[in-house]
Structure 1
Amino acid sequence: MNRIDKKLQQLKAENKKALITYVTCGDGGYDTTESAVLKMAENGADIIELGVPFSDPIAEGPVIQAASERALKNDTTLKGIFEMVKRLRSKTNIPLLLMMYVNSIFRFGTEKFFTMCEDTGIDGVIVPDLPFEEKEEIQESADKHSIINISLITPTSTDRISMIAKEAKGFVYCVSSTGVTGMRSGFTTDFNQFIGEIKKHTDTP
């Protein structure tokens, strides 16, 4: 069983919520990222997202954009991230996901990428710029290597919610508001309605 599913089932049995944290890989160097991941795991994180730096992070706000820029200036690469994950796997069994843009997968080579995910101990991927309707471009390779491709649902998904939710695996990534990531002074999303609609179509967390 995938570590993500195992962890979420365990938490559900204990009537607990999952704390999922995030760090941009290579911001401060691989050693800093590795240390941050281990500290998160020690201090209550249940699942950790590893952000893969990208030169044009269109979905990100200024904080993660700046982190990506610093990481790229540190010569952070996907190969280097996989090597770091391999080291981490000798120290922690916490579920790990790569959060990244689809072009990074294509440039690396889709089959090679998912092979490396399986070999190093990555459990899932979150690809925010890959539309649900185009997910088959990576889904076959992801399934072949038992890597969960996390589905995203936004407040503007409306009539697509049922279609996306029914095929969701691992957990559903519910985008809280439109626009880029980062601080908000408030939310206009009706979360009861939004989450309620999703739950009509799936029991995936």
Structure 2
Amino acid sequence: MNRITELFQKKNSSVLSIFFTAGYPEVNSTLDIAEALEKAGADFLEIGIPYSDPLADGPVIQNSSQKAIENGMTVHLLFEQLKELRKRVSIPVLLMGYFNPVLQYGVEQFCASCAEVGVDGVIVPDLPMYEYEDMYQKCFEEHRLSNIFLITPHTSEERIRKIDQLSNGFIYLLSSSATTGKNLQVSSSTEEYFARIRDMKLKNPTMIGFGISDHQSFSKAAEYANGAIVGSAFVRLLDNEGYHDKIGEFIRALKG
């Protein structure tokens, strides 16, 4: 067990995760934001590793990634900063990013660094499932890292069952096949998709992401999954002067 599995054992509904980009809006703001989010009531955090070609991200997160790179954020610097993580933050923390920076850093070294600083899991959207199983699963498990897989409305039942078998944290349900930042449009087909996954009775908890931006969309997602992930709406908040003082209000408004 790690902090992720412990969290879902204690709380299995209306779980709130917040995504933000490391090194944005300032290069040294990562831990301050993480600490403020925990104090405000977030259940766990996803810290994005900035990347120059973030294909799944919409303009808000792309912009934060570009600015973080300009600020000087790198994987090496992020791990340096995260050495202080567990002195300041007790909730689960995941790193989210693309496979290329992980590969450049070295997968084994990356897993070891995550374990060393107290990171609980990793979300790598472009790491193929079978490549993970064949080449990296052992390394992740040795360092007690949960590898979080994503599914979309088009993912087959066979693949979802396989993902459920390989997972040991939660499964990330994309609300649509679009990029991040689009508001959640809960059509009848979206509800059918959410209900289909719920009715599969997967062994792992599920979290819905992409388009969760307010109390209404958070509550709707929580009807079908164990909780939801908010990204672009929070990153947009960080673009405001005095954002630090607005974090508590933002989380309270989401939770209603």
Using structure 2 for the length normalisation, give the TM-score: 0.74
Select 1:133's aligned residue among 126, 130, 134.
Answer: 130
Q: How does 1:2-13 map to 2 (within 5 A)?
A: 2-12=2-12
The CA deviation string for residues 68-116 of structure 1, in whole angstroms up to 9 with x for no partner, is 0000001101111112222121112111000010111110001111000
| Residues 1:168 and 2:167 are matched in the alignment | yes
| Residues 1:24 and 2:17 are matched in the alignment | no
Q: 2:29 is paired with a residue of what secondary structure?
A: helix
Give structure 1 regions of 4+ aligned residues with deviation exceeding 6 angstroms.
Answer: none
The CA deviation string for residues 5-26 of structure 1, in whole angstroms up to 9 with x for no partner, is 11111113xxx42110011000
User: Measured at CA, do residues 187 and 130 of structure 1 come closer, stay the same or move farther in structure 2, by a change above 3 Å?
Assistant: farther
Q: Separation in 1 of the partners of 2:51 and 2:149?
A: 20
Could you tell me the percent identity over the aligned residues?
Answer: 38
The amino acid that maps onto 1:2 is N
Q: Separation in 2 of the partners of 1:130 and 1:46?
A: 26
User: Measured at CA, do residues 198 and 27 of structure 1 come closer, stay the same or move farther in structure 2, by a change above 3 Å?
Assistant: same
Q: Aligned-pair distance for 1:191?
A: 2.9
Q: How does 1:89-168 map to 2 (within 5 A)?
A: 89-136=86-133, 137-159=135-157, 160-168=159-167
Q: Separation in 1 of the partners of 2:199 and 2:3?
A: 23
Structure 2: give runs of 5+ residues left out of the alignment.
206-256
| Residues 1:204 and 2:221 are matched in the alignment | no
Q: Separation in 2 of the partners of 1:147 and 1:43?
A: 26
Q: Separation in 2 of the partners of 1:98 and 1:185?
A: 23
The CA deviation string for residues 48-68 of structure 1, in whole angstroms up to 9 with x for no partner, is 000000010011000000000
Q: Separation in 1 of the partners of 2:126 and 2:149?
A: 11
Contact 2:27–2:72 under 8 Å retained in 1: no
Q: Separation in 1 of the partners of 2:8 and 2:111?
A: 22
Contact 2:27–2:68 under 8 Å retained in 1: no
Q: Separation in 2 of the partners of 1:132 and 1:62?
A: 27
Q: Separation in 2 of the partners of 1:8 and 1:95?
A: 11
Q: Aligned-pair distance for 1:44?
A: 0.7
Q: Separation in 1 of the partners of 2:72 and 2:110?
A: 19
The more displaced of 46-55 and 77-86 is 77-86
| Residues 1:67 and 2:77 are matched in the alignment | no
Q: Separation in 2 of the partners of 1:187 and 1:31?
A: 37
